[in-house]
Structure 1
Amino acid sequence: MLAQQSTQDNAQNQVTTVASARDIRGASPYIAIKNEPAPKLIVDSPIPEGLVQGVYWAQYRVENLNIVPVFGEGARQVSPRAGHLHIIVDDLPWWWADASNNNTVDIAGLPPGQHKVRIELVDPNHTVFPGQVVTQTFTIPEYQSAHLH
């Protein structure tokens, strides 16, 4: 059974249909999702206002996955699906996990020159979801050091 919610502005006699919570927030955590679609990572281009200050800011969002700080084999069985991001800078041999879901990757203190950031969408066991890696190459211009944070 589907429900529709409408509001009416009596002053102007207009009816407005309101988007459902499911449409905006996704599935309820109380009901397992059958045949869950594959997760998807979408990353915007770096924000120019950050680059001129030596800071990489890139907003992101995910589909069909909740970014939460849960890890391990048991967490792979939850529905809706859970995961987090791995972030790698300039092909360094180390990375960090971001499970904050604050919608913006923030890397400060980058020196002038060309850089590369790789963002991976991974499951609770740190396995990359197929095809869910975004790599961005960008240039930090010469700038005067100032602390934004």
Structure 2
Amino acid sequence: MFAMDALAQPARSLVVPYENEPPPKLTIDPPLPGPLAKGVAFIPYRVENLRILPVGGEPARRLSPRVGHLHITLDDLPWQWADYGGSSTIILVNLPKGRHKVLIEAVDPEGGLLTSQSITFDAPGK
């Protein structure tokens, strides 16, 4: 099955820019239930058509394939943090008991919004 999916995907060069890049896509999965029951939210995510790299500034906006990073906001707080690691998992520890919302935004190298997804879940607390 994997081989068939791989064959169906168009080839992408990392050396030659290509025109008309498809838009970035971000998918967030619910927190993993095992760790969440212990008070740790492991939130898996996937990005397509965007490489998460520790680069910034206007010149990086011209790179192809497209590069960027993530902005993460918890519970609509007025601050957020950035993720340049591309680990495919956001990990939150010691969340107080109750309902929480996590907003993940895929942004360009200068912080311009490309796409976003949010997820709401209940943490059991301690």
Using structure 1 for the length normalisation, give the TM-score. Answer: 0.76
Structure showing the higher helix proportion among its residues: 2
Residue 94 of structure 1: aligned partner: 79
Unmatched segments (≥5 aa) in structure 2: none
Shift of 1:51: 1.5
Query: How far apart, in 1, do the equivalents of 2:106 and 2:44 lie?
Result: 14
| Pick aligned residue for 2:52 from 67, 79, 93 | 67
Q: How many matched pairs?
A: 124
Q: Write the mapping of 1:74-113 to structure 2, written as runs, cut at 5 A.
A: 74-113=59-98
CA contact (8 A) 2:28 2:118 kept: no
Q: Secondary structure in 2 aligned to 1:34?
A: coil
Query: How far apart, in 2, do the equivalents of 1:121 and 1:97 lie?
Result: 10
Unmatched segments (≥5 aa) in structure 1: 1-15, 144-149
* CA displacement, residues 54-105 of structure 1 (integer Å, 9 cap, x when unaligned): 2111111111111111111110000000011100011111101101011111
Structure with bigger gyration radius: 1
Residue 121 of structure 2: aligned partner: 138
Using structure 2 for the length normalisation, give the TM-score. Answer: 0.88
4+ residue runs over 3 A deviation = none
Query: How far apart, in 2, do the equivalents of 1:70 and 1:96 lie?
Result: 15
Residue 38 of structure 1: aligned partner: 23
Among all aligned residue pairs of Structure 1 and Structure 2, give the percentage whose two residues are the same amino acid: 48
More relative contact order in 1 or in 2 (CA 8 Å, sep 6+)?
Answer: 2
CA RMSD across the alignment: 2.2
Residue 33 of structure 2: aligned partner: 48
Shift of 1:27: 2.1
